[in-house]
Chain A
């Protein structure tokens, strides 16, 4: 099973709301990633978790707060977002963060900030 599951598939939130995106994988992968993708653009890396510890933060604004409760779960907490944060948020995982492992992506969560 090479599946990364993301919920919700669609989310509409106001600029004062607090919401979370969730990601789950059961492949025993120890690296998990959050990417942001705007329309007609490639995915951009936001965060990397390696063995449940944050290893890369690509200078993402603090209104995005990642959390890795265990090796199978990855959350992205959202607070006080701006309309320009509307995008497809993709979660991904790989066996480990370094080396030549395949990276598997979920279907994404479509976020609209109103």
Chain B
């Protein structure tokens, strides 16, 4: 069975600082991996996806994630946080039932 674990339920960063959200996966075969973002009172939106074409994946809004098979990780980063990045972020593995518990990002002015 495929699953993901997100490390850290809350991350607080200063505007302009690095954002790092951690996700580890468990899968017997190379998975497809996703990061979704959920803004307050909105549905989830796809941020980026890994489908084995390239280990470094670039997404929307300046986010990127690196697939590391040796570490079974798919961490999400953004070099410089913006106030508009305040949201909840979910890591997911392909298949209908495999979302992480989410990480809430707050951005301090």
Task: Answer yes or no: are A and B bound together in one complex.
Answer: no
